[in-house]
Amino acid sequence: MIKKSYSLKFLFFLFVAIIVTLISILLFRGRLGSDDLEVFNFVYSYYNSDFDSIKEYINNIEISKSYFDEIQKHSPMTFSHRFVWVLQTMAIYKFVSIFLDLKSANSIFIIQYFCGLIITIYTVLSFYFFYLILKKRNVKFISSLILSFFLFCGTGLISFFTGAYIESLVVFLFVLRYFYKNFLIIFLIDLIILFIKPYYYIVIFFLRLSDYFFIKKKLNFILKYLFFLFLLVLFYRYLLTDLQSNFESLNKKGISFNFIELLKNFVNFYISFGIGIFFTATIPVVLIFLGKIKNVTIIKIVGIIFFSIFLSLFDGFHGQAPGGRYFLPTLFIFLDEIIIGYKKIVNIKKKYYVFILCLFAFLTIFNLPTLEYRNTSLPEYLNATAFKQKPTSPVFLNKNNEYQLFPFPIKDIEFNNIIFSSKIFISKILDERDIHIANYKINSDNIYPATGIGRLLYLRENNLNIYNPVIIIFAKKFYFLLKIIYIVFYLIIFLIIFLFCLNLLKNKLWKKLV
């Protein structure tokens, strides 16, 4: 009987693993192109150098480094700034290379593919584990599924499904933090999050302080925990970097201590149409308000305010991702509030709660095109990046030899990710050549999809032959099959949300959901 139970668990685990992998393959953008390419270049260069240790390689990096692709160059700061990402890529590189001939360019492409795919897998797993947490908190099946869609597909989090951002791992870790109750596991999760991005200490600090009121942890214990965590992260940064290189890195990222600039970024962080939290994360903001917990929620919000002040020091506080690449993972520190708020909406029969759920469904459906079309990809669309061997970077050197970010029209309502992506989606259906958004005119042919399957179709439809020949052949050979899978995939998501909303209007699902 015990053996049968273990066999069933293994089969279920295998089934979930296969489904997660297949969905990830459909969503992953298929190639490395920015930060992930920088990390891969570092690892590729190291493994192709004559040095036995990372330290030796870094000390001699200027005379020994090579590139698989010079689009995104690496530096000594790559190892310190993206430490966890580098270790992850090294492990995947070594493991996959066991089965491949590294002299072949196709083999290197396959290694790259798996190094990028893992980032998408993190987001798909985050969706799944969030759903499991809801089930643990006695939220019914349909309701759990719908809330997962609302949060992951109705906000900028949908852009994480295609890979590229190490913040996908941060999202996964924040979700796991609520899945496990073991103190040691939570400590390790906190530590890994801080190894990825040390500035998340601000968020974790206030999240831990909220435990004093929520789970009645002793304040003395919490402060010791936070101090020990701080020392470990400080020691880790000291080992990997020096003060001068840290300041050089911050300068390249456009840090500014100008109070007026900081205030402008801070205001835009919250209320700009294109990036602001209240206009891009409306669903979780409403749920957090409805599910607020006395003394606990306010402490977490204070943490977010301090976190936003820090991010506002940078021109690129949004991380060039819809809704804020650095902010979005922090939504999950409000997981308790989100669940309480959602249960309140579902369980209490009030007309305006039905309206709120329908609004959530509306926002989610119209945010679905964000999976493919990104407002923060505007410079790439304008410069026809898809038709060039070397993509256009949104960061460039100005006349004063200073790093400058593309002037995203973040205050324009048409730059909002829902409006931006929906307008492109509709224009593509209507086959309009020129699309006017936020005072920019974009050639629709230059607007490429973000998912892997979408890009394969795009390559075939535009007869692009500047990429890997094997990929081009695959896209041509399986074009119609890919098209069918693509349409069915979107229809399933749309129908789930639409039918849910329709049944709510008929008031037939209330008892089943409660």
- The pLDDT tens digits for 268-323 are 999 999 999 999 999 999 999 999 998 889 999 999 999 999 999 988 888 889 98
Looking at the structure, do residues 441 and 474 belong to the same domain, yes or no? yes
Total number of domains in the chain:
3
Note whether 359 and 383 are same-domain residues.
Answer: no
**What's the mean pLDDT in 380-398?**
75
* Angle (deg, nearest 10), helices 105-136 and 167-179: 30
Across residues 408-432, what is the average pLDDT? 92
pLDDT of residue 148: 93
- Report whether pLDDT(327) > 90: yes
**Same-domain check for residues 193 and 258:** yes
Q: 435 vs 512, which has greater pLDDT? A: 435
Measure the CA–CA gap between 399 and 78, rounded to whole angstroms: 26
- What one-character-per-residue DSSP string does 93-149 give? HHHHHTTS-TTSHHHHHHHHHHHHHHHHHHHHHHHHHHHHHHHHTT--HHHHHHHHH
What is the structure's pLDDT at 514? 42
Domain that includes residue 315, residue range: 144-364
Return the pLDDT at 501: 67
The secondary structure of 262-316, three-state, reads HHHHHHHHHHCCCCCHHHHCHHHHHHHHHCCCCCHHHHHHHHHHHHHHHHCCECC
> Mind listing the pLDDT tens digit for each residue in 71-130?
777 777 888 888 899 999 999 999 988 888 777 777 888 899 999 999 999 999 999 999
d(CA 57, CA 52): 8
Please check whether residues 196 and 290 belong to one and the same domain: yes
Residue 136 lies in a domain: no
Highest mean pLDDT among 72-81, 119-128, 371-380, 501-510: 119-128
Phi and psi at 433, nearest 5°, equal -80, -45
* Res 11: pLDDT: 82
Shared domain for 327 and 207, answered yes or no, is yes
Please tell me whether residue 436 adopts helix, strand or coil conformation: strand
From 320, 340, 364, the end of a domain falls on 364
Q: In 10 A of CB 292, how many CB atoms?
A: 18
Nearest to 377 by CA among 283, 312, 442: 442
Same domain? For 400 and 295 the reply is no
Q: Where among 364, 393, 420 does a domain terminate?
A: 364
